[in-house]
A = this chain, B = another copy of it.
Amino acid sequence: NKKQSRQANSETISIFIPYVWVLGPLGKMKINYLCVFQDFDLASIYVSDAQYNRNIYFDTSPEAVRLYLRYNHWLAKVLLYFFILVDLSLALFEEPAVLPLPIWATMLVELLCLLVFTIRLAHYAKVIPRDKFWKDPKNICIIVILLLTLVDMIIYGALKATNCYGVRWSRVLRPLLLVNVTEGRQLRRAFRSIRNALPQIFYVFLLFMFSLLMFSLMALKLLGKRGLKTIDGAPYFTNYLEIVFDLYVLVTTANSPDVMMPAYNSSFVFAIFFILYILINTYIFMSVFLAVVYNNYKKYLKEEVRQLVRAKRHKMARAFAVLQEHREEGGQPVVSQANWNQMVRLVQPDISNAHRELLWSVADDKNQGKVAFVQLVDLLNIEVITLKSRPHPLQSACPALYLSAPSRLLCRLVQHRAFVIVYDLIILVNAVFIGLDEENPMVSNSEWVFLALYLLEILLKLYVFEPKAFFSRHSFWNWFDTIIVVSALIATIINSAMKSSNRQILDIVFILRVLRLIRVVDSIKRFRAIINTLIRIGPAILTFGQLIIVVYYIFAMVGMELFKGKVKFFEEDSTDPDKAFCGNTDLKGTAFAQLNYCKNNFNNVVSSFILLVELTVVNQWHDILYLNASRTPDRGFVAVTHVSARIFFILFHIMVVIIIINIFVAFVLEAFFVEYSVDKSDLQTSLERKIEELELAVEHVGIVVFPGYRTVDALLQRMFEADLDPEDFAENDDPDGNFANPTFSSA
């Protein structure tokens, strides 16, 4: 392996062995080597746990430490998430299926998944002390989920074997695995913050419901006896429960202004009633919901992050205790640079020497004691890009040509601001050409011109800039450009090579062409700032993605059991007479059928997810549910099942729209405020100051501090940094706290 041998050549053999060992923990290796580096292993585990905020009580016996390193191996994690994904996507193949598979096939795959989860759990049980394992609700949860799933599979298999009707009810438990695996830290935190906000939300919700009930009562009294009719000719506002539902839907604005029109047509005075209702319930109450959710979110997150930071420092203090040495009698304990280097190499094997030296000098600058050491973990979380400012390969290969006057003029031209402007103009012209009809031969041929121009741009840049620097890990736009242009070239060639143009390839070509235009955003500084903030909060948004998937999955499973097959979708060219009412006579002449909503059904997991997205967006949900009481009452999902089906949809609305979407908005707000108010954290600036100081000392090495954070926790910590005391090590913590290692503290 090339990388390893390079490392082995440049470093001593004593570094080589743990490095290989970290890379290959799943392989077998001799224990006797490990004893030599026991201290460094333990210290590096503490540091890496601190870096990734893992709060796991592992045993400190060499056996357990080895197992723990394997437990944290990236391959094990990828495998775990792969099998969770497989388990979740089984819903595609189970009845009601997108692609039906026989029951034995899905059952076998599910059994395999269960086996993998059991092995993972058993591995975990070996890493941490027995009593800690049984005290952790996560583990109990997983065991219960696994057992219930097994029981359900047996019952379902037996029922199917005897041709009875069976329900795979344990499917709703599947997404809970995402929450309860040890890696689901962010997700658990999000759920905790929801749980903590619930009491306050509940009181506001009660008040909101009270307001809703009062307005409904008033509407019943004012409008019920006037003999008004809806546009369908049904009586308007005569049934109290229907009014409550209609006004609840009005809060989401989905049936505005339809629900108001009959009253407004009778007299404009009634419009005041509805305007007042919307002002109070839609604008004020919904803002109050956001305020309550946001406030609680901030409050509890702050507390959680505070604990997280204390746990982190605690672990770093442990690592320090392992590595420390007393330079003089009675002096402060310190960590020597040799130990430091060894430990940093273990924690982050791919770190460059320059970067490591920089970290040491920042830490060394203050003192070599504990405080500086504890900061190491924060320093590691700051992204530093090491750019070797080496000469261009062409310059080394053919210096005469590369340094000639025309070549240097070309370099100056490419680096000039005008070059960027010219290419931005080309992109704009390209946008116009894309908008034109591509069947015109002039337009379709112009595509080749644009492709050639874009390729030329990339080649020119490669001529001017050092290729490794051009394609460094953080040159997002360079990667973006190259990938898009090269794929567009390949797709366009394939497309024109084929005689009859293939629709799919053409689609890809179109998408690539349009994506190419996005590049123009990067040229404008103001836009870049906003885009960078969005990209930076991207990973945290993924946590919300998981949250949404957990909730959607559960609702989709329940919805499929309740509503599958009630509404049928017929293809465009079908001549089935049932097409006009989605295959359900209850839907004859309803808005649902008229608006061609037949595909909005729970007939498989994909449709269910898309329907749930539509319900999240809220608009027309009364039509989707055909629940609009102001037209003829009780049709659709409610007609084909029961009025109580509304409870399912209202629960979904409260859960997703009122709680989760508000937490999402709260998070985006908070992240933007942090980006606006603090540009760089203290540590980052001290790192940059150091880089400036060292400029002359570290020769031929360009280091750039990237103002980003490697982990979501680092972003969260930054949000609440101001309130944290850097000297707080949490050393006197209760040993039962869930981050201390009890066996170590007795050693």
Residues of B within 8 A of A214 (CB): 514, 517-518
Q: Which of A224-280 contact B (CB under 8 A)?
A: 231, 240, 253-258, 261-262, 264-266, 268, 271, 275, 278
Q: How far is the CA of A572 from the CA of B267 in the complex (A)?
A: 11
Q: Would you call A204 an interface residue if the criterion is a C-beta within 8 Å of the partner chain's C-beta atoms?
A: yes
Residues of B within 8 A of A231 (CB): 594-596
A491 within 8 A of B: no
Of the residues B511, B527, B672, contact of A207 by C-beta under 8 Å? B527
Cα A431 to Cα B210 with chains together (Å):
12
Contacts of A203 in B (CB 8 A): 526-527, 530
Which chain B positions have C-beta within 8 A of A268? 599, 606-607, 610
Measured CB to CB, the nearest residue on chain B to A517 is B214
- A676: chain B residues within 8 A (beta carbon): 295
Do A613 and B295 contact each other (CB < 8 Å), given the known contacts A253-B618, A619-B253? Answer: no
B617 touches A271 (CB 8 A): no
Min C-beta distance of A543 to chain B, whole Å: 15
Q: What residues of B have a CB within 8 angstroms of the CB of A204 in the complex?
A: 530
Contact B206 A527 (CB under 8 A): yes
Please determine whether A530 and B288 come into contact, CB atoms closer than 8 angstroms.
Answer: yes
* A434/B261 contact (C-beta < 8 A), A295-B673, A619-B256, A672-B288 known: no
What 1/0 mask marks residues of chain A from 582 to 595 whose CB sits below 8 Å from any chain B CB? Answer: 00000000000011
* Contacting pair A257 B664 (CB below 8 A): no
Q: A257 touches which one: B264, B278, B511, B600 (CB < 8 A)? A: B600
Q: For A290, what are the chain B residues with a Cβ–Cβ distance below 8 Å? A: 665, 669
Report the minimal beta-carbon distance from A484 to chain B, rounded to whole angstroms.
13
Nearest B residue to A199, CB-CB: B526
CB of A531 within 8 A of CB of B207, answer: yes
Interface hits, A155-206 → B, CB 8 Å:
203-204, 206
> Which one, B254, B514, B526, contacts A619 given CB within 8 A?
B254
Q: Are B610 and A572 in contact (CB under 8 A)?
A: no
Q: Which residue in chain B gives the minimum CB-CB distance to A272?
A: B610
User: Who on chain B is nearest to A255 by CB?
Assistant: B619
| Contact across chains for B207 and A597 when beta carbons are under 8 A apart | no
Stretch of A215-223, A353-361, A688-696, A701-709 with 4 or more beta carbons under 8 angstroms from chain B? A215-223
Cβ contacts under 8 Å, A288 to chain B: 530, 534, 668, 672
Please give, as numbers and ranges, the residues of chain B lying within 8 Å of A665 by CB-CB distance. 283, 287, 290
- CA of A222 to CA of B673, assembled, Å: 37
Q: Given contacts A288-B530, A531-B207, are A617 and B435 in contact (CB under 8 A)?
A: no
Contacts A255-B619, A257-B614, A597-B261; A514 near B221 (Cβ below 8 A): yes
Copies of this protein in the assembly total 2
Query: Which of B240, B594, B596, B624 meets A265, CB within 8 Å?
Result: B596
Q: Which residues of B contact A595 (CB under 8 A)?
A: 231, 258, 261
How many residues on the A side are at the interface (Cβ–Cβ under 8 A)? 84
Q: For the complex formed, measure the closest distance between the CB of A619 and the CB atoms of chain B, giving whole angstroms.
A: 4
Question: Which of A257, A266, A514, A526 counts the most chain B CB atoms within 10 A?
Answer: A257
Residue interface mask A613-639, B partner, CB < 8 A = 1: 110011110001000000000000000
Pair A534/B435 contact, Cβ less than 8 Å: no
Give the contacts of A278-314 with B (CB-CB under 8 A). 278, 282-284, 287-288, 290-292, 294-295
Of the residues B256, B597, B664, contact of A617 by C-beta under 8 Å? B256
Instruction: Check B597 against A669 for contact (C-beta < 8 Å).
Output: no
A675 nearest in chain B by CB position: B291
Whole-angstrom distance from the CB of A561 to the nearest CB of chain B? 21
Is A513 close to B, CB under 8 A?
yes
List residues of chain B with CB within 8 A of the CB of A322. Answer: none
- Please give, as numbers and ranges, the residues of chain B lying within 8 Å of A534 by CB-CB distance: 284, 288
Q: In the bound complex, what is the Cα–Cα distance between A514 and B243 (angstroms)?
A: 15
- For the complex, what is the distance from the CA of A668 to the CA of B295, rounded to whole Å? 12
Q: How far is the CB of A377 from chain B (nearest CB, A)?
A: 30
Interface string of A725-736 (1 = CB under 8 A from B): 000000000000
Given A287-B665, A619-B619, A669-B294: A511 in contact with B222 (beta carbons within 8 A): yes
CA A275 – CA B262 in complex, angstroms? 34
Pick the contact of A669: B291, B530, B596, B610 (CB < 8 A). Answer: B291
Question: A217 near B434 (CB under 8 angstroms)?
Answer: yes
Please give, as numbers and ranges, the residues of chain B lying within 8 Å of A527 by CB-CB distance.
203, 206-207, 210
Residues on B with C-beta less than 8 A from A668 are 284, 287-288, 291
> Is B295 a contact of A672 with CB atoms below 8 Å?
yes
Q: Determine if A256 and B507 form an interchain contact, defined as CB atoms under 8 angstroms apart.
A: no
| Most chain B beta-carbon neighbours within 10 Å: one of A221, A510, A534 | A221
Task: Tell me if A217 and B431 are in contact (CB < 8 A).
Answer: yes
CB neighbours of A606 from chain B (8 A) = 268
Q: Which residue of B lies closest to A518 (CB)?
A: B214
- A321 contacts the other chain (Cβ, under 8 Å)? no
Contacts of A624 in B (CB 8 A): 257
* B-side contacts of A282, CB under 8 Å: 617
Q: Within the assembled complex, what's the spacing in Å between the Cα atoms of A738 and B210?
A: 48
A20 touches B (CB below 8 Å): no
Q: In the complex, are the beta carbons of B513 and A275 less than 8 A apart?
A: no
A661 within 8 A of B: yes
**A140 on the B face (CB < 8 A):** no
**What's the minimum C-beta distance from A511 to chain B, rounded to whole angstroms?**
6
Of B266, B292, B435, the residue contacting A672 (CB under 8 A) is B292
A672 to B295, CA, bound (A): 9
Given contacts A222-B510, A284-B668, A664-B283, contact A610 B264 (CB under 8 A): yes
- Chain B residues positioned under 8 Å from A661 (CB to CB): 283
User: Judging by beta carbons under 8 Å apart, are B614 and A207 in contact?
Assistant: no
Bound CA span A572–B230, Å: 12
Contacts of A210 in B (CB 8 A): 520-521, 527
Closest to A204 in B: B530
Evaluate contact between B221 and A266: CB separation under 8 angstroms. Answer: no
> In chain B, what residue has the closest Cβ to A275?
B613
Interface bits A438-453 vs B (CB < 8 Å: 1, else 0)? 1000000000000000
The 22 listed contacts between A and B (C-beta, < 8 Å) are A207-B527, A207-B531, A210-B520, A217-B517, A218-B511, A218-B514, A220-B435, A222-B510, A222-B511, A255-B619, A257-B619, A257-B624, A265-B569, A265-B572, A265-B599, A268-B610, A271-B613, A278-B613, A288-B668, A291-B668, A291-B669, A291-B672
Closest 3 CB pairs of A and B: A291-B672, A221-B510, A287-B668
- Other A-B pairs beyond A204-B530, A255-B619, A261-B599, 8, CB < 8 Å: A217-B514, A221-B434, A256-B614, A268-B607, A283-B664, A287-B668, A291-B673, A295-B676
